Structure 1
Amino acid sequence: MEQSTEHSRWVIATRESRLALWQAEHVQALLGARLPEPVELLGMTTRGDQILDRSLSKVGGKGLFVKELETALEDGSAHLAVHSLKDVPMELPPGFVLAATLEREDPRDAWVSPRYASLEALPAGGVVGTSSLRRLTQLRAARPDLRIEPLRGNLDTRLRKLDEGQYDAIVLAAAGLKRLGLAERIRSVFDAGQMLPAAGQGALGIELRADAPQRCPTLWALLQSLNHRPTWLAVHAERAVSRALGGSCSMPLAAHAGFAADGLTLRLEGVLGPGEDASAELRALGLARAEAEAPVQTVAEAEALGLRVVAALRAAGGDRLLAPAHPG
């Protein structure tokens, strides 16, 4: 590979949670094996890490986990940022670009409980912890008899609260547990019919400044070679659904895509639930669901598939669910 001449070292901006550091160290190892210069980490605390007493939808949404990292990219103190893609807003600020996604880990949601093996095994009135509206609405649809209580904090904090007895069970992304060697904490995983994942769940996204191809051509080319194309196309289809519907932490929206065995046909599913402040009438409508599939080889085709699912979701009742969030 061509030797890099742009910088004497490369810096990765990352949050400082144990999972975020694992993710950044994973990218660091991949780059370090291919670049002659040292690759270093710049650990940062974001507002999303600091605000733990309110839901993300009340204090600014997903962007709270990436803003400080983008500032480091902008001022040149870092050259790339590594994110859990599900935490990345659907529209990046001007001047930034999603450069690559690595091969996806298990995208499913995991049921974690010291006493109950599955959602079905939890007795009526059981307490489940999650602060995700997407998870909350799907849990309510499956088990309206349960108590769903807020749960914030990094992965270790959430597990500690469960172990202290604050909850009977909690729902977490399977990917994070597996990456940290905690797969034994998973009692069961939800299939897509029970709990459709968030757009981008299980995937790592690498963000750079938009001028990186000119400023750092060697780094840019290397990241393109590391980009996992099936994941890249699948997450673009998923993010197209969220983008078109204004997806945020205040909207219970799920989207997940995967390729069929032929490696050409991408199947995309979407689920939309009533919003955080929905009326009892809207809650009674339940969830809108839709799916579509098509041959996909380009980002444009992936995003077109996403828009097909958006249209189908709207036709399946999504328009009524969206009305309060999009008045007029």
Structure 2
Amino acid sequence: MNIKIASRNSALALWQTYHIRDLLEARGHNIEIITMKTKGDVILDTPLAKIGGKGLFTKELENAMLDGRADIAVHSLKDVPTTFPDGLKLACVCSREDINDAMLSMNFKSFDELPNGARVGTTSLRRRMQLLALRPDLEIISLRGNVNSRIAKLRDGEFDAIILAMAGINRLELYKEVNYVSLLNTIAAMGQGALGIEAVDRADILEAIEFLNDEKSVIETTIERAFVHKLNGGCQAPIGVSARLDGDKIFVRAILGTPDGKEILKDERVFNKAKYKEAGEILADEFINKGAKEILARAEEIASQI
């Protein structure tokens, strides 16, 4: 059948879209790719938290599906809000890449080697929170733009290090562009490392792409997204949550706090695989009972001043 894919026009978005195109073409489908810039791609001088969060990267793609110009859109799942417009749904979660955050640097081999007051670039309030909790001396600077422009700023000496998702580094082979890449001991964003396929709620389209679903990734990300949804966190709140399925057990780590790293709430739990649909909400309720909503309200106030 003919399937139209809406995609952002960035290097990583196109890699992801071409990857899904190849899998669909191997099944005999005819694929057309429609590229566009989103509001999040255009407004680069303002932190995401101040202009509406990461949903800014999906709105135009969703409009293309709703008005019939496209059938599906390929997203980094960590950028996808937990609610969808009527007529669209999260149809597939593909097998996951490395879920970790990583530090890229031209001069420093690891996070521990960063000098006092080092300039570190990241857009994410979640990463800012965790880095400052470990190293309050760091100067965390907002870093927007596509991955190539971020790497260029690092190479030009504007930053001592920048933080990116290891999944994107692997997919675009960005380790070839810098001297050092090191994993961070941070808790990732919900859905990090997974591709999410958003689609029109139409039986023929859903049936055609169903094979892209990966059970392990679906289980893990269902927990992560339910945790964030229950907290009304949104994609840009300082919340990290990581679920790992191992046999019949699911190991979940979660963290939230203020962007300055001064207030942190952190916990981990083990759930049975059979309970994965409830696990995210159960953990979120435990966090709420410990004051999570109040901390996130303070986090929002601090974020508005960054």
Matching of residue 266 in structure 1 with residue 240 in structure 2: no
Provide the residue aligned with 1:183 in structure 2: 175
Deviation at 1:91, TM superposition (A): 1.2
**How do residues 44-83 of structure 1 correspond to structure 2 at under 5 angstroms?**
44-83=36-75
Provide the residue aligned with 1:25 in structure 2: 18
Report the Cα distance in structure 1 between the residues aligned to 2:257 and 2:42, rounded to whole angstroms: 28
The two structures, once aligned, show a CA RMSD in angstroms of 1.8
Provide the residue aligned with 2:95 in structure 1: 103
Select which of 132, 139, 149 maps to 1:140: 132
Report the Cα distance in structure 2 between the residues aligned to 1:108 and 1:48, rounded to whole angstroms: 23
Say whether the 8 Å CA contact 1:132–1:249 is kept in structure 2: no
Select which of 129, 145, 164 maps to 2:121: 129
Deviation at 1:223, TM superposition (A): 1.8
Report the Cα distance in structure 2 between the residues aligned to 1:123 and 1:38, rounded to whole angstroms: 52
Matching of residue 256 in structure 1 with residue 238 in structure 2: no
Provide the residue aligned with 1:307 in structure 2: 281
Deviations 1:50-94 (A, max 9, x none): 000001111111110011111111111111110011111111122
Matching of residue 244 in structure 1 with residue 230 in structure 2: yes
- Secondary structure in structure 2 of the residue aligned to 1:289: strand
Provide the residue aligned with 1:295 in structure 2: 272
- Secondary structure in structure 2 of the residue aligned to 1:76: coil
- Secondary structure in structure 2 of the residue aligned to 1:222: helix
Deviations 1:287-309 (A, max 9, x none): 10112221224xxx323111122
Select which of 155, 159, 162 maps to 1:163: 155
Select which of 211, 218, 223 maps to 1:232: 218
**Residue segments in structure 2 that go unaligned for 5+ positions in a row:** 302-306
- Secondary structure in structure 2 of the residue aligned to 1:153: coil
TM-score (norm 2): 0.93
Report the Cα distance in structure 2 between the residues aligned to 1:231 and 1:62, rounded to whole angstroms: 21
Query: Structure 1 102/56 Cα, relative in aligned 2: closer, same or farther at 3 Å?
Result: same
Report the Cα distance in structure 2 between the residues aligned to 1:42 and 1:246, rounded to whole angstroms: 32
Provide the residue aligned with 1:204 in structure 2: 195
Say whether the 8 Å CA contact 2:250–2:273 is kept in structure 1: yes
Size of the aligned set, in residue pairs, is: 299
Report the Cα distance in structure 2 between the residues aligned to 1:314 and 1:143, rounded to whole angstroms: 27
Deviation at 1:18, TM superposition (A): 0.5
- Secondary structure in structure 2 of the residue aligned to 1:125: coil
Deviations 1:193-247 (A, max 9, x none): x31000011100001112x11xxx2x32232222001001110100011101111
Considering only CA atoms, is the larger Rg found in Structure 1 or Structure 2?
1
Matching of residue 116 in structure 1 with residue 108 in structure 2: yes
TM-score (norm 1): 0.87
Structure number with the bigger relative contact order (C-alpha 8 A, sep ≥ 6) is 2
Provide the residue aligned with 2:304 in structure 1: none
Query: Structure 1 326/94 Cα, relative in aligned 2: closer, same or farther at 3 Å?
Result: farther
**Residue segments in structure 1 that go unaligned for 5+ positions in a row:** 277-282
- Secondary structure in structure 2 of the residue aligned to 1:120: helix
Deviates further, 244-253 or 85-94: 244-253
Deviation at 1:317, TM superposition (A): 4.5
